[in-house]
Amino acid sequence: MNLFFKILVCVLLCAGLGFASSYSTANEINGWFQTIEKPSWNPPSRIFSPVWTTLYILMGIAAGLTWHSHDERKNRALMLFVLQFLFNLAWSYIFFSEHQIGWALAEMIVMLFLIIATMVSFYKIKPLAGYLMIPYILWVTFAACLNGAICMLNS
């Protein structure tokens, strides 16, 4: 398979699974989430969809570049990617569907370490793939701070 096809598959998987995850929690975002206390610096809801779409595209490109490499470490790097992505999807369920704000924060901290491990693994194989993960780690770090503030405001 060529590079373009691998990137396309990865982007479609990331975006598709991300969209499915957000679709499954949409009722809670428009319901329960509107009723809880949030910090003044909580972004407007309309920001999240374009940001996550962009991040899923960048993540997919990074995964596709890694998948296309001939480096013997790529399988481990891609397994880390899948693991952190599963944590990404699980966070939405824990936070929005289960309303477990504290557990979601704990889960997100683990996810941050997995993203860092993935980013480093990608970088060692294909530096561009590691760099493409930087916006994701920055956004998830911001989201962890936001999750922490929401946890404190609603305890």
Q: Which residues of 25-48 are buried (b: 16+ CB within 10 A; e: fewer)?
A: beebeeeebeeeeeeeeeeeeeee
Q: What is the pTM of this model?
A: 0.94
Q: Which residues contact 87 (CB under 8 A, 6 or more apart)?
A: 107, 108, 110, 111, 114
Neighbours of 113 (CB within 10 A): 11
Q: Which of 18-27, 42-51, 57-66 comes out lowest in average pLDDT? A: 18-27
- Report the alpha-carbon distance of residue 23 to residue 19 in Å, rounded: 6
Q: What is the CATH number of the domain that holds 127?
A: 1.20.1260.100
* Residue 43 backbone class (left: φ over 0; alpha: ψ -120 to 50; beta: rest): beta
Instruction: Tell me what pLDDT residue 96 has.
Output: 94
Into how many domains does the chain fold? 1
Q: Which domain holds residue 7?
A: 3-153
Higher pLDDT, 41 or 29: 41
Average pLDDT over residues 75-90: 97
Query: Given this model, what pLDDT does residue 23 score?
Result: 80
**Tally of helices (H runs) and strands (E runs) in the chain:** 7, 0
